[in-house]
Amino acid sequence: MKKSKNTNDTIALNKRARHEYHFMSKFEAGLQLQGWEVKAIRAGKANITDSYVFIKDGEAYVSNINIMPLNQASTHVISDPTRVRKLLLQKREIEELMGGLDRQGLTIVATAMYWKACWIKLEIQLAKGKQEHDKRDAVKDKDWARQKERMMKHSA
């Protein structure tokens, strides 16, 4: 008998990033994690809302991913919930990210953390910050789409 595949493999989302940035290009990065961190992520103790991706010495790192340790899993380890973690990317991808940072003045934003088979992946995107009027326009468009949906629902 075949096991049914879990359709929701998302661990954590950064919903605020969609409001704050225009996204240019998307990358999938692996995370270098410790054992207690994987156990805590399986228990749903991860938050990427305040995370920040940076590049140092030709390698990509992410900081402020908050992974709260489980009491039973981290008794023998001194755990830092917001430590800097290395991102596993190909050299070509890191060069593309560095080009976006240096030449175009973009930023790198972590937008989602999810399971891919047995590995934990972090979706990062090159992004440009929105101006205040862009944010207002996005809210207006969202409200209009919601109103249209209601009108179509009631007219049918």
> Which domain does 107 fall in, by range?
10-130
Predicted confidence pLDDT, tens digits, the chain (156 residues): 444 455 578 999 998 888 888 899 999 999 999 888 898 999 989 999 988 899 999 999 999 999 988 877 656 777 788 889 999 999 999 999 999 888 888 899 999 999 999 999 999 999 988 777 777 777 888 888 888 888 888 876
Domain assignment of residue 48, yes or no: yes
CATH number reported for the structural domain that contains residue 39 in this entry: 2.40.280.10
Residue whose tokens read 């944010």: 135
Domain assignment of residue 5, yes or no: no
User: Letter for the amino acid at 24?
Assistant: M
Q: What pTM, to 2 d.p., does this model score?
A: 0.76
From the centroid of its chain, how far is CA 118? 18
Residue 85 burial by Cβ neighbours in a 10 Å radius (0-12, 13-18, 19+)? buried
Domain assignment of residue 156, yes or no: no
